[in-house]
Amino acid sequence: MSILGHRVLRKEDIKFLTVGGTYVDDVDLPGAAWLAYVRSPLAHARIAGIDVTRARQAPGVVDAVTAQDVGLAPSRMDADEIPEVMARPFLATGTVRFVGEPVVAVVANSLAEAVDACELVEVDYDPLVPVVDPSMALDDDVLLFPEAGTNVVTSIGEPNVEGVGEGSLFDGCEVVVRQRILNQRVAPCPLEVRASAATFGPDGRLTFYVSSQTPFTMREDLAKMLGVDEDRVRVIAPDVGGGFGAKIEPYPDELLVAWLARRLSRPVRWTETRSESMLGIGHGRGQVQYVTIGGSRDGKVAAYYLEVVQDSGAYPQIGALLPDLTKTMLTGTYDIPKAGFFSRSVVTNTTPLTAYRGAGRPEATAAIERSMDLFAAEIGMDPADVRRANLIGADRFPFTTVIGTQYDIGDYQGALDLLLEVSGYKELREEQAGRRRSAAPSQLGLGMSVYVEITNADEGTEFSSVEIRPDGKAVVKTGTSAHGQGHATAWSMVVAEKLGLSVDDVEFVQSDTDIVKSGIGTFGSRSLQSGGVATRRAATRVLEMAKDLAADMLETAPEDVVADPAGGGLQVAGVPSARKSWAELSGAATERGAPLLAEVDYEFQGATYPFGAHLAVVEVDTETGKVVLRRMVAVDDAGRILNPLLADGQIHGGLAQGVAQALLEEFRYDEDGNPLTTNLADYTFVSAAELPSFECARMETPTPKNELGAKGIGESGTIGSTPAVHNAVVDALAHLGVRHIDMPTTPERVWRAITAAAP
Amino acid sequence: MIPARFDYRRAGSVGEAVALLSEFPGAKLLAGGHSLLPLMRLRLAVPSLLIDIGPVSGLSYVRDEGDHLSVGALTRHRDLELSEVVRREAPVLSYAAGQVGDPQVRHRGTIGGSLAHGDPASDLPAVVLALDGTLVAEGPAGPREIPATDFFCGFLETAIGPDEVLTEVRLPKARGGWSFQKFNRRAQDWATVGVVAVAGDGRGTGPFRVALVNMGLTPLRAAAVEEAAAGGAGPAEAASRAAEGTEPPSDLNATAEFRRHLASVLVRRALEEAMAGERTVA
């Protein structure tokens, strides 16, 4: 019986639950100096002068450097869409463009001395008018980069200038509904903040420890910054305490640690504080959306248009490019005959936007799923029935949407049916009707979303190698870079299953660019279907090599050699005595100069499209506006599941973050661009106390795109849950005349919506 | 997240703490540390000296003194929550103590620290106010009593002198109807608005005392509500006067306007619950 598909416990957890992990801040670096940054207190200002004299004279201070001292060319995302003049400098140069932007780097013998010395740096700012609201940025009244001539970074598509009348997309629609929807800016809040540490060996090679999802990208950027070849740089991501997409892109303040270590000929380390992290690590979402949906009164949707203003923050990073993924997933699980999309990404005097769990797809799902509910409310149909009338049938895959996205495989109707059944939807609607009749202050709301998303969206490869060690155990080295997901267990299962070993007999290695040959990293729910498949292929290749070898040693044909059913080696089929252990095979292979090692660069066959259906049940106190999530039911289909325990972990975490966006979390600025939510108390970070026990039901529709049948599961929870909860809150108040409330649906917003709707 | 430089001394007795306070004007007392230390980490508080009164023995207790309870200033929230005496004689205090912050805060934070910090958003100051408590502060001239109604002078400002240590809280027994309505967005948060209501005669029905959390610069008594209730008004009528005399803040959780609305809803619910009579803490 195969181990795949079973709830194998996480082998990495013994360490985390006993002695704890080793994070960058735990790495022992004797003699290291500490770095702290002086950060901009203003959203937009010209730097008139910087005086580091007093800081340099402070006790324990080793160095204090400004942009002028650094003299490095700005780092720019490698994307044609992003104008060169908007590239981000390593330290603010001439102008500061967001609160929290690093201005001066101070290095001292201790962290306390570095922090104290930062207070002695004098920066003279001439305030400029800040641009905070992305919609206002479009006016170009104030430019962040005057050389660019506009605040618009990039745009996609064309505006729907025809409106909803004759000759437009919506020509012929009986009903057209329009709504402005805010998909608010959120902070990713990994529990481990950003950190890096740099040391140069006697050979002049750099070893760089960093909390990252992409060590190989980091190596590339470090080499570029230092002007050296990549083989002069070793990057190690030790245990990483969460990333959620915000640790994909290397940040200037973490890279500069290496530059300072070289300048000072001394190890340098840096760990940001939580308050710094709230401003320094990229933010997510940040879209202003305008939806138009039209169709007939029988529930059939005929046309859909989405216009997006994407907040990119002060310097364009991945965030500026997210609308491309929003467009890709525009029409969701529905067969909509006509659709249009227009987006503009703008710079504002705020923290730069980056990828955050879902990255462009949750925004698409939120828009279409809110639109389906708005449409259903307008024509007076149950939202489940409207969805059913428009879902793409299971018999139509591969399916190409009107926008040109080709979905691999799916059964959206099946997911919705299962959801309605396991949640007891009919009974819940009856309970809701009863509450409405009683006019009790606590009203019930039901909200759903039937989502599809794209995982492993980029083209390319991922690396894995499998080797049999002299002691007969296997070692897998992979280019993906797990930071909580459980890859040590999953990859070990893949190898163990192929080679007839136990999971504990597989050593797992990742995130060290000297030990792993190459790699891309972990993001976009890509890992199992890229690195996992590469691992399987490498293990398969090793097995073939071993069979050839064993056949030769046992004087039989390779096709007669099989795995020893008792484990630990190979044998001639039906002849248990004719057997070679893995240790023997490894030794023989090495002797013959052909070690049992296979290296695979797996080129994947395009993206996969996980899907599912989520239902949220909320209770809303109509007197205080407080929303309590009573139930969260999730049906998720990520293809064949390798380890349900790990998949559940991904779904649960995703649900929590998705619920948080709907109910609690929003990164806020005042009109001057001052951040208001700079700690986990003010940001109202979700906790277990705000969440019910999740109810998960699984479907498995294997993808034809890879031999594991696996799609990604890392982001589904976040993508499906946010609109489900959001819809539920509005649904609870629909009978009071409430049509829409922006997220997060705070008590005050709910109360104001009820008050405004009252006759 | 690193405090500015400060010195640290341990005080073995109240007298020693008072002497140190007199000697070092920039000093602050450290008890549970759950209000002071976060402020220091953000460098919003920069005391030159911390006087740790944790080692002072005999300041953590609950005593039944006949008509009232005496509570030592170093008694932790969790001990108040679990105390059989408090649950029997002042159930509202036990219940409210169980609503403070999160488990870590409740196991470290002290009633004295919470009162001396004087945060209008904290739960226990309003409870002590509604219970008509008396606070005991000890300075160079010995102990003195301060009625709770005179204790909270301004935002984070109390009647404790710079060289005084809060040592005890005396609370009239309140076995009658009670309610604590805490409204917040997350379980661990400070109250956006909170309301304490207790039957004033200590037994049951008598005049109701009502105090408000986070509706002004200090914890407040809702005098207009108390007056209306004493005059025979029902909960809804009395609650319509909840915001009278308040100056609620506007912040990330709520505007002043919304707080006034919440106060009226919560006062009504608190009065309804308190007027329903005696009840044990669940």
pLDDT for the residue A458: 84
**Helices marked H in A227-360 — which ranges?**
252-264, 274-280, 318-328
CA nearest to A92, candidates A106, A74, A77, A115: A74
Q: Are B171 and B68 in contact (CB under 8 A)?
A: yes
Q: Return the CATH architecture of domain A458-603.
A: 2-Layer Sandwich (3.30)
Give chain B as a 3 state SS string: CCCCCCEEEECCCHHHHHHHHHHCCCEEEECCCCCHHHHHHCCCCCCCEEEECCCCCCCCCEEECCCEEEEECCCEHHHHHHCHHHHHHCHHHHHHHCCCCCHHHHHHCEHHHHHHHCCCCCHHHHHHHHCCCEEEEEECCEEEEEEHHHHEEECCEECCCCCCEEEEEEEECCCCCEEEEEECCCCCCCCCEEEEEEECCCCCCCCEEEEEECCCCCCEECHHHHHHHHCCCCHHHHHCCCCCCCCCCCCCCCCHHHHHHHHHHHHHHHHHHHHCCCCCCC
Inside any domain, residue B139: yes
Residues 113-172 in A contacting B (C-alpha not used; CB under 8 Å): 115-116
What is the tally of structural domains in chain B?
3
Q: How far is B266 from chain A (nearest CA, A)?
A: 9
pLDDT for the residue B202: 53
In which residue are the tokens 């770095």 written?
A: A35
Q: Determine the Cα–Cα distance for residues A183 and A164; give it in Å rounded to an integer.
A: 24
Q: Are B30 and B61 in contact (CB under 8 A)?
A: no
Inside any domain, residue B1: no
Task: Report CA A382 to chain centroid distance, whole Å.
Answer: 33
Inside any domain, residue B20: yes
Say which CATH class A15-128+192-241+247-280 falls into.
alpha beta
- Write the DSSP assignment of A431-487 as a string of letters: HHHHHHHHT-SEEEEEEEEEEE--BS-S--EEEEEEEE-TTS-EEEEES---SSS-H
Inside any domain, residue B281: no
pLDDT for the residue A474: 97
CA nearest to A252, candidates A175, A314, A341, A344: A314
On chain B, the residues whose CB falls within 8 A of the CB of A748 are 253-255, 258
Token pair, residue A534, equals 């590469």
A interface test, pick of B6, B104, B261, B268 with most A CB neighbours within 10 Å: B261
B160/B87 same-domain check: yes
CA nearest to A452, candidates A342, A336, A527, A369: A369
Question: Which of these three, B106, B137, B171, is where a domain ends?
Answer: B171
Task: Report CA A632 to chain centroid distance, whole Å.
Answer: 21
Q: Could you count the other beta carbons within 10 Å of the beta carbon of residue A566?
A: 10
A-B contacts (CB, under 8 Å): 50
Phi, psi (degrees; rounded to nearest 5) at A183: -100, 95
Q: Which residues of chain A have pLDDT under 70?
A: 76-77
Q: Determine the Cα–Cα distance for residues A742 and A668; give it in Å rounded to an integer.
A: 14
B interface test, pick of A34, A746, A750, A755 with most B CB neighbours within 10 Å: A746
B15/B82 same-domain check: no
ipTM for the complex? 0.95
Fold of A409-453+609-759: Aldehyde Oxidoreductase; domain 4 (3.30.365)
Q: Determine the Cα–Cα distance for residues A635 and A629; give it in Å rounded to an integer.
A: 17
pLDDT for the residue B34: 87
What chain A residue is nearest to B261 in terms of C-alpha separation? A624
Option in B1, B183, B188 nearest A624 (CB): B183
B146/B207 same-domain check: no
Q: Are B139 and B146 in contact (CB under 8 A)?
A: no
Fold of A130-186+282-386: Aldehyde Oxidoreductase; domain 4 (3.30.365)
Phi, psi (degrees; rounded to nearest 5) at A488: -55, -40
CB contact under 8 A, A747 and B192: yes
Q: Are B137 and B209 in contact (CB under 8 A)?
A: no
Question: Which of these three, B137, B171, B205, is where a domain ends?
Answer: B171
**In DSSP terms, which residues pair with A528 in a beta bridge?**
none
Query: Measured in Å, how far apart are chain B's first and last C-alpha atoms?
Result: 39
Q: Could you count the other beta carbons within 10 Å of the beta carbon of residue A81?
A: 14
Radius of gyration for chain A, computed over Cα atoms and rounded to the nearest angstrom = 28
Is residue B189 within 8 angstroms of chain A, CB to CB?
Answer: yes
CA nearest to B203, candidates B177, B225, B221: B177
Token pair, residue A335, equals 């067969």
Q: Are A234 and A512 in contact (CB under 8 A)?
A: yes
Q: Determine the Cα–Cα distance for residues A558 and A95; give it in Å rounded to an integer.
A: 69
CA nearest to A213, candidates A487, A502, A503: A487
Phi, psi (degrees; rounded to nearest 5) at A738: -80, 135
- What domain range includes position B46? 7-51
* Domain edges within chain A: 15-128+192-241+247-280, 130-186+282-386, 409-453+609-759, 458-603
Q: Determine the Cα–Cα distance for residues B97 and B111; give it in Å rounded to an integer.
A: 9
Is residue A297 within 8 angstroms of chain B, CB to CB?
Answer: no
Option in A626, A676, A687 nearest B187 (CB): A687
Inside any domain, residue B56: no
List Cα–Cα distances, A178 to A28, A175, A451, in angstroms.
Answer: 57, 10, 21
**In DSSP terms, which residues pair with A177 in a beta bridge?**
A293
Establish whether domains A15-128+192-241+247-280 and A409-453+609-759 are of one fold.
no
For residue B116, what is the domain's CATH number?
A: 3.30.465.10
Token pair, residue A197, equals 């540490």
pLDDT for the residue B205: 60
Q: How many residues does chain A have?
A: 759
In which residue are the tokens 């006949």 written?
A: B66
Give the SS3 label for residue A632.
strand
Task: Kindly list the averaged pLDDT for each block of 10 residues, start to end, along chain B of length 282.
Answer: 90 96 95 90 90 94 96 98 97 98 95 96 97 97 97 96 97 94 96 95 73 98 96 95 97 97 98 91 86
B16/B69 same-domain check: no
Option in A273, A274, A747 nearest B185 (CB): A747
pLDDT for the residue A73: 86
Q: Are strands A233-236 and A268-271 parallel, antiparallel or unpaired?
A: unpaired
> What dihedral do alpha carbons A524, A525, A531, A534 form, nearest 10°?
-110
pLDDT for the residue B207: 86
Question: Which strands, in side-by-side order, build the sheet including A45-51?
Answer: A95-96, A45-51, A122-127
Q: How many residues does chain B have?
A: 282
